[in-house]
Amino acid sequence: MQPKLPICFFDAKTGMLCGNCEARLARGEVTQADVEASRAVAQLSDRVVELQKATLKKASEVNGSYVLEFDRSDMPALRGNPLLVEELENALKGRVWVVGAGGNDRKFLEDVFFPAKVLTVNTVYLPDGEKKTKVIVPARRSERRVGDFDKLRAAVKGARGIDLLMETEREVAASLYS
């Protein structure tokens, strides 16, 4: 079995785009990030069983960090392999977040922060009219190797256009009771 990708599986395996996929790339139906992610998934599908049945819907890339949107029905199987993200990061040579495609912004953010729980998601309107999304996560950051918050913010902004503010519950409690 082979994964379903934004480009032809054969193109992803060989590294060369056929005329049809080249035209889709030129028209903007697929992005260069889709092509790179498809190549990585196709190469890894030989070793990683969960990727063989997966459907990669879309990929976004910002400064070498990738948000890979898979079919939502694939998420339990993909999350069942704790080394999957590490394998994808090695293949793409950058930070990778695996999320379910579609859904609302809260579900998207829950996928980005997985396995940490997202306690709250609020929209904050700043005095200058700018809109930001504030996410509060548990105080134990060790639950999730979020890594560099700047990369996370940039990846979320590139994938969904969400300006992200992040706080832990401990930071929120300290600000309330100080």
Mean pLDDT of the chain, nearest integer: 87
pLDDT (mean) for 126-153? 75
How many helices (DSSP H) and strands (DSSP E) are in the chain?
9, 6
> What is the predicted pLDDT for the residue at 81?
86
Report the share of the chain in percent with pLDDT over 90.
44
Does 60 score more than 90 pLDDT? yes
Q: What are the distances in angstroms from CA 24 to CA 8, 69, 172? A: 11, 19, 46
pLDDT (mean) for 46-63? 91
Nearest to 58 by CA among 33, 76, 79, 41: 33
pLDDT (mean) for 131-140? 84
| Tens digit of each residue's pLDDT (9 = 90 or more) over 73-131 | 999 999 888 889 899 999 999 999 999 998 888 999 999 888 888 889 998 898 998 89
Domains and CATH numbers, the chain: 1-102 (no CATH), 103-178 (3.30.300.20)
Q: How confident is the model at residue 31 (pLDDT cuts 50, 70, 90)?
A: very high
- In what order do the strands lie in the sheet containing 56-62? 56-62, 65-70, 96-100
3-state class (DSSP) for residue 70: strand
